[in-house]
Amino acid sequence: MTLVDYLLAVGAGYDPRDGFDTPQQRLLSQAGELLDGYGPNDFVIKASGGQRPLATTDTPWIGFFDPDESVTPMRGLYVVWLLQASREAWTLSVNMGTELRAKTMKKAGDREAQVLEALRAEAAAIRGGLPADLTSGWGAAMDLRRPGIRQRRYEAATIIAKTYPLDALPDDKTLAGDLNHACLVLAEAMQARDRFAIANPGTIFTGSAVHVDPNDRDLPFDPGVDVTAVISLPKRSIVRKPRHEGGLKRYGTWLQCRNFKLTTKVHPRDFVITSPTPWIGEYKVVYGRDVARATREAHSQLKEYRHFLYPAGASRPQLLAVFSAPITDRRVTWLNAEDIAVVWDEDDRWRGCPLAQAAGLGL
C-alpha cells in the first residue's frame, strides 16, 4: 500500500465516534506492516487511533521512531503524522515526547500552562540549532483543530511541521521524500538537542551535562542491559535485537580486566576512562554496511563533548570511538587524522588502530 493511499484511506473515513472496530482503526493497527519500506530501514513504525479499550482519539497518529532514540511518543524525539480533528488535513512533524515532560512539572498554579511553555521553549531551542537549509520550506507550528490537552501538547512540542490538505495530497514520491527529509531532520535535531544540553546545563529536558571531575567521587560503570523489543503485527512479529548497551558492557568489562577504570555516569557521553589516562569514549552500532553514519556521529559527538565539557587550557582527555563491527580503512584513517583512536568488534575480539593499540585499548 502506498503512503498516499494509506493517508487517504485513514483520513477520509476516520470518525472517533465509530469506536475501534472500523477499517480505519485496522489500518492504523497494521501501519508497521503496510508502510514497511517507507522511512529509514531500521525505524520502528507505529500508529494509534486511541487507547484500547478506553477511548478513541480525535487525532490519530502514525509515528516513525529511531529505535536508538525512542519507540514511544511519550519520550524522546520522533517523526509523526497527525490527522486534524476536523479530518481536513494531515501534518507531518518532527516532535517531542510530552508525557514524561509533564510529569516533571509541579502541580501548582496553572500547571498545564507551565507544561506548554516548557515544551515550546525546548522545541524552539532545538529548532534554533538546526541548519537553515533543513528547515527551509517547513513551518514551526501545527493546528490540530482540537483544544484537548494532548493535542495542545503535540502543538507545543513541534520542532518542524508541514501540513497537507486531505483533498489535495501530493503524489506518493513527494510524500515519501518529505518523510525521508523529516527523518534526516530528526537525526540533526537529536544532535542539536544534545549540543544545547551540554552548552546550557539544566535548561533542557534531556538532562544536565555539567562536567563532574571523576576524581571527586567514585563513578560506577553500569551501561544497563539491552531489552529485546517485540513489535506485534497482525501477520507477524518483528523482533528488535539488543544493540547498544550490550556491546558497551562487553567492551567496558574487557577494559576492566585490563586494569582500566571507567564510568558510564557521565551523561550525555557514553563512557569515560578515568585511569590510567583519561579518554572520552563513544560506542556506536554499525547497521548493515552504513559505516558512514556511525563514524560521522562518533566524530561529531566526541569533538563536541571535549569542546564544551573541558575548558581550553585545562587537561583535556583523548578521544576514543568504539564500533560494533569493522569499519573501512579510509574511515579509520580519517578518524585518526582527527585525533580519534578507533576500536571495533571483529569476531568477538576488540581490534584497534595503532593509536588504540599503543594505549592498550584494542588488540
Angle of helix 172-199 relative to helix 111-128, nearest 10 degrees? Answer: 100
pTM above 0.85, yes or no: no
Half-sphere exposure of 34 (CA within 13 A, CB side): 20
Tell me, what's the pLDDT at 235?
A: 55
Angle of helix 111-128 relative to helix 149-156, nearest 10 degrees? Answer: 30
Three-class SS state of 27: helix
Tell me, what's the pLDDT at 207?
A: 32
Query: Can you tell me the distance from the alpha carbon of 247 to that of 242, in angstroms, rounded to the nearest whole number?
Result: 9
Q: What domains appear along the chain, each with residue ranges and CATH number?
A: 3-199 (3.30.920.90), 214-359 (3.40.1350)
In order along its 363 residues, the chain shows pLDDT tens digits of 999 999 999 999 999 999 999 999 999 999 999 999 899 887 899 999 998 777 899 999 999 998 878 888 888 899 999 999 999 999 999 999 887 667 766 665 678 888 899 899 999 999 999 999 899 999 999 999 998 999 999 999 999 999 999 999 999 999 999 999 999 899 889 888 877 877 766 565 543 223 334 343 345 555 555 444 444 555 555 444 446 678 888 999 999 999 999 888 776 788 999 878 889 999 998 887 789 999 999 999 999 888 877 766 667 899 999 999 999 999 999 999 999 999 999 988 999 999 999 999 999
Q: Are 33 and 234 in contact (CB under 8 A)?
A: yes
Angle of helix 3-13 relative to helix 172-199, nearest 10 degrees? Answer: 90
Look-up of cell digits 528488535? 240
Query: First vs last Cα of the chain: how many Å apart?
Result: 49
Tell me, what's the pLDDT at 220?
A: 57
Tell me, what's the pLDDT at 214?
A: 39
Tell me, what's the pLDDT at 42?
A: 78
Q: Are 91 and 64 in contact (CB under 8 A)?
A: no
Tell me, what's the pLDDT at 276?
A: 80
Pairing of β 340-346 and β 318-323: parallel
Beta strand spans in the chain (E): 44-51, 55-65, 77-83, 89-96, 158-165, 229-232, 237-240, 261-263, 271-275, 279-284, 318-323, 340-346, 349-352
Query: Can you tell me the distance from the alpha carbon of 292 to that of 303, in angstroms, rounded to the nearest whole number?
Result: 17
Angle made by CA atoms 87, 161, 98, in degrees to the nearest 5: 85
Tell me, what's the pLDDT at 277?
A: 84
Give the amino acid at 236. Answer: R
Residues 6+ apart with CB under 8 A from 145: 84, 85, 86, 88
